[in-house]
Amino acid sequence: ADRPDKQDFQEAEAFANRAKYKYDEMDYSEPKVPGSQPYREFAGMPVAPIANPASCFKCGTCATNCPVGAISKEDPTQTDALKCIDCMRCVQNCPSQGRALPQKVQEMLLTKLSPLVGVRKANEFFY
Structural domain spans, the chain = 50-95
Q: Which CATH number is correct for 50-95, 3.30.70.20, 3.40.50.300, 3.40.50.12160, 3.60.21.10?
A: 3.30.70.20
pLDDT, tens digit, for every residue of 7-64? 999 999 999 999 999 999 999 998 888 877 777 776 666 789 999 999 999 999 999 9
Bridge partners, 37 (sequence order): none
pTM listed for this prediction = 0.63
Rounded to an integer, what distance in angstroms lies between the CA atom of residue 121 and that of residue 107? 23
Closest CA to 67 of 92, 85, 79: 85
